[in-house]
Amino acid sequence: MMEIDFKNVTPSGLESSPYATELAGLRANEARYYWNHFKTKFITFPASERPDVVQMMDQIVAERDLKFKSKPLEVADFTIERVRHLYVFYQNGLSINVMYDLVDPQKRAVGFKLSDHMEILEEFEGKFKFAKMHSKLAGTIRGSYFKIKQEYPL
């Protein structure tokens, strides 16, 4: 378990990624968001300690016929104000998050973020358009999303 520091960005836990620094910036960007909006600390776990999160993520993205080959490195799992948040950070520089409102099925989505300098994955070709945003912590982030259609036992 590791509390992510968004003031002193470190690639701890992500060292095996060729995008370790960029992925650490993405992770810190998420930590800053949750602290600024909810005063909630962003805690990650090695993916090997929480295979349930990886399995749930795999199940949800399968709605769009997506399956990622890259190794999951870290995960996060927490609930704020009736919304469950799941994150998986992958070795190839990809970050996927789920925001799953436990009451309102209209407020459920999956977000994808690509680390700075990372190529768009073949799994996304022709399926998603990516918008760019800039972050002091993560450089250029390219992101996309889809709304979740099915119910999941979260």
Write the pLDDT tens digit of every residue in 26-43.
Answer: 999 999 999 999 999 999
Write the pLDDT tens digit of every residue in 73-92.
Answer: 999 999 999 999 999 999 99
Bridge partners of 113? 95, 143
- List the chain domain ranges: 2-147
Write the pLDDT tens digit of every residue in 106-143.
Answer: 999 999 999 999 999 999 999 999 999 999 999 999 99
pTM beyond 0.95: the answer is yes
CA 126 vs CA 38, 49, 67, 121: distances in Å: 35, 34, 15, 11
CA 78 vs CA 41, 45, 93: distances in Å: 10, 12, 22
**Alpha-carbon span 54 to 77, nearest angstrom:** 10
CB 109 within 8 A of CB 84: no
Q: In whole numbers, what is the pLDDT of the chain averaged over residues? A: 97
- The percent of residues above 70 in pLDDT, for the chain, comes to 100
Residues contacting residue 128 through CB under 8 Å, at least 6 positions apart: 112, 144, 146
